[in-house]
Structure 1
Amino acid sequence: MKIIKADKLVGELSPPPSKSVLHRYIIVSSLAKGISKIENISFSEDIIATIQAMKKLGAKIEQKDNYLLIDGRETFKNLNENIVIDCNESGSTLRFLFPLSIVKENKILFKGRGKLFKRPMTPYFENFEKYKIKYSHVDENEILLEGDLKAGIYEIDGNISSQFITGLLFSLPLLDGESKIIINGKLESSNYVDISLDCLSKFGIKIINNSYHEFIIEGNQSYRAGNYRTEADYSQAAFFLVANAIGSNIKINDLSENSLQGDKKIIDFISEIDNWSSKDTLILDGSETPDIIPILSLKAAVSGKKIEIINVERLRIKESDRLKATVEELSKLNFDLIEKKNSILINSREDFKVNKNEKVVSLSAHSDHRIAMMIAIASTCYDGEILLDNLDCVKKSYPNFWEVFLSLGGKIYEYLGK
């Protein structure tokens, strides 16, 4: 455990590359019949998991300091029996590659850790049973998958995760025959599907999108190699955008104004909060942007305005119960938050009393990178010192976060006791 403290953060930074975009570039490049160059790389634990997984499926990936050379000409050729893919804690790696790993008949053991296999996989299981694809839970951290993916009709509920749709969009163009993905109900996080469709289009794959209700995928398509630069990550930039909105002065470079990333919405959310003058409760819909809800909650809490962030129940199936963790930790810093089943109420209590700041308050990252980074930014508006556990959990998405925090004037030091 370490003490973290900051007054205001001041300086300049470039956010890491978008993890969402980079996962996708690595996978589609590994399917292309040629050599692709992907620039602007951050080797987070999740990205390393996807690189290693595609290597297991036959792709040749050469890692340089800030770019990858990816040759997909041998992918799915000469596969070894009993391949093991370690997804670590990466939901993207698991869900993107689960169907992709069996576009050729195959037997794959998927491994993970933490809460990875507590996150839903039912949409795949229900469809795989229809096509006689075998799967079995070896233990709580391993699933054995055996069979071959078939062209056909796949039905996916839209309110669980768009990652299931992306996994099928990557896989189905490689099969013989036309396929269709039917979305049951409203598709949440449609922006992530937009990123997938954009990536597929760049690499030569055609998908018909019928208003996010269904996707029609022609079979026997071929991925085309290409050279691309990964844009900066709005979900990571969000921490520093909020820091600026609550008093810091950070120049943030490399953000694309034309980005398809849904987490770009943080800019609109900040503006909505700042411009809200009514005594009524401001309602913010978080259904499309689950990753930025913790840091958005901090901005909302600091504003002192009555705010409810709704449609965020999916936060409960992230690396932690992120809804509960956000409320729990910010409440320890004397902010007024109430946890509801599907929302967070902020500054809603007329009789809310602030406890006297302790010199040192003990907080938990809940082994969740986004909670840890939220707490780091929250330290800029807390007079005391914050004792935080598991600082290393940020390696999942932002390996040098604490170095950046220090470069902007933040402090990290050992706790020597009272």
Structure 2
Amino acid sequence: MNHIRLNNSNFRVKGKLSVPGDKSISHRAVMFGSLAEGRTVITNFLRGDDCLATIDCFRKMGVKIEEVNGKIIVDGVGTTGLKEPEDILYTGNSGTTARLLLGLLSGLPFYSVLNGDESLNNRPMSRVADPLKLMGAKIWGREHDNKLPMAIRGTKLSAIQYELPVASAQVKSALILAGLLAEGDTKVTGKIQSRDHTEKLLQQFGVQLQINENEINIKGGQTLQGTDVFVPGDISSAAFFIALALIVPGAELVLENVGLNETRTGIIDVVKAMGGDIEIETIQSEGESYGNLRIKYSDLKATEISGAIIPRLIDEIPIIALIATQSEGTTVIQDAAELKVKETDRIEAVVTELKKLGANIEATKDGMIIHGKSKLNGGQVKTYGDHRIGMMLAIASFISSGEIILENPDCIKISYPNFFEDLNKIAQ
């Protein structure tokens, strides 16, 4: 069995670290660079499995993408230059790749098939396919066009006005890309704001968007111009080291060049509400905001997490749950049913595995309740093939009284290829 043994409870946590580039921005930089006219140069690209799948898909559609001196060079072909792929477009474990490609491929004049790994092929796609069909898209898939593999016969799309039933950056982005290729003006609205990397990056590529609070208008037929893109460190990856510094006695870490996009910084707000010692030391605000974070061990107290903040920290909830086990009082997480349709059912996975280690935690229909403080023990735990579950359990090894045996740690490479090497850098 593929597993790793972790016994880190005697280590001090000190030092500086630069986490890998933001996964969401890395995906989009390759996609938009491929659609642009001219060359795009991407610095600090995340070379994780998910983002490499995006590169592979666009290479199969005729885009020249190379790595030179650590940078990704994309020679764009324009919105009309992509070619019909001769093979299936394999998106691996990446929901971002699959869902955004559904929007793009629906408006291109050729046939294509999307497929993913076992986990992705069981995640819902109708939330993207259904509104695309309203634009005229021709999409077929398993379970009434809800599951991969999916076939797309590209066609001319018509603009629509669509209100998102849930806050989803992937659905929103798919519709924006389809709107870019459609006739007319497409309007996408939502009750709660989701991450806005697509909007910010498209504007950097020269696309005109009208943004009014939670309403986005995009005019079809626009062209993109190649540009230079710097990818800040991924706050979702930084979250594991934020947690580590907060819960290991005597710890102090500086995380450099972390993305601070306001639609993603919910974890910083929650940490501060729990009494965590976290400071933003420097900040760059041109394009995507980023800066350095200093985090120190803290006496934490419980909090309640629900409502509008959930989309701003949905991927960080597994590690927030671990933080909550080390906080005085009862932490309640609600309105997070979206966790059930991630790489695995993250509510069930978090509760099951933390219970194995001795946490006092219970699942609810749309979240979880965590009673702290808990002393964590060693034990054998599973990742469920989910990178964020795997990293959360690895961080738990620093505060567990015994050895943790982590099954299937390789899935962590999806978003953080050098995760264990970085852990070793700051464990003294």
TM-score range, shorter chain: 0.7 to 0.9
Which residue of 287, 293, 296 maps to 2:310? 287
Tell me if the contact between 1:235 and 1:264 (Cα under 8 Å) persists in the aligned partners.
no
Unaligned runs of 5+ in 1: 411-418
Aligned residues: 394
- The separation in 2 between residues aligned to 1:156 and 1:116, in whole angstroms, is 25
TM-score, structure 1 as length reference:
0.87
* Match 1:337 to one of 346, 358, 361: 361
SS in 1 for 2:240: helix
**SS in structure 1 opposite 2:51?**
helix
Q: Distance in 1 between matches of 2:128 and 2:82?
A: 26
Question: CA 1:81 to 1:398, structure 2 compared with 1: closer, same or farther past 3 Å?
Answer: closer
* Residue equivalent to 2:386: 368
Q: In 1, distance between residues paired with 2:17 and 2:323?
A: 20
Contact 2:173 2:198 in 1 (8 A): yes
Does the CA-based 8 Å contact 2:209-2:218 persist in structure 1? yes
Compared with structure 1, are the counterparts of its residues 163 and 3 closer, same or farther at alpha carbon in structure 2 (3 Å cutoff)?
A: same
Aligned residue number for residue 405 of structure 1: 423
- Quote the sequence identity (%): 28
Shift of 1:275: 6.9
Say whether residues 1:296 and 2:303 are aligned partners: no
Deviation by residue 1:62-102 (Cα, 9 ceiling, x = unmatched): 12352111111266437236552110010000011112123
Question: Helix, strand or coil for the counterpart of 2:253?
Answer: strand
Residue 57 of structure 1 corresponds to 61
Answer yes or no: is the 8 Å Cα contact 1:58–1:75 preserved in 2: no
Structure 1 partner of 2:6: 4
Q: Secondary structure at the match of 1:362?
A: strand
Amino acid of the structure 1 residue aligned with 2:310:
S
- Are 1:32 and 1:72, in contact at CA under 8 Å, matched by a contact in 2? yes
**Equivalent residue letter for 2:361:** L
The one-letter amino acid of 2:240's match is: F
Q: 2:24 aligns with which of 13, 20, 26?
A: 20
Q: Contact conserved, 1:113 with 1:141, CA < 8 A, in 2?
A: no
**Aligned with residue 182 of structure 2, among 168, 175, 178:** 175
| Partner SS state of residue 124, structure 1 | helix
1:378 corresponds, among 396, 400, 419, to 396
The structure with the largest strand share of the pair is: 2
Find the aligned partners of 2:314 and 2:267 in 1 and give their Cα distance.
Answer: 11
Contact 1:57 1:75 in 2 (8 A): no
Q: CA deviation at 1:107?
A: 0.7
Structure possessing the higher relative contact order (Cα contacts under 8 Å, 6 or more residues apart): 1
- Residue 166 of structure 2, aligned match among 159, 163, 186: 159
- Structure 2, unaligned runs of 5 or more: 278-300
Structure 1 residues 3 and 283: CA distance shift in structure 2, 3 A: same
For the structure 1 residues 156 and 59, does the alpha-carbon distance in structure 2 shift closer, same or farther, using more than 3 Å as the test?
farther
Aligned amino acid, residue 365 of structure 1: T
- Check 1:79–1:255 CA distance in 2 against 1; reply closer, same or farther (3 A cut): closer
Q: Which residue of 1 aligns with 2:205?
A: 203
Please state whether the residue corresponding to 1:388 is helix, strand or coil: strand
Give the Å deviation of 1:156.
Answer: 4.6
2:217 match: secondary structure: strand
Cα drift, residue 150 of structure 1? 0.6
1:318 aligns with 2:342: yes
| Corresponding residue SS for 2:383 | coil
Normalising to structure 2: TM-score of the pair?
0.85
> 2 CA distance for matches of 1:333 and 1:15?
27
Distance 1:74 1:160 in 2: 30
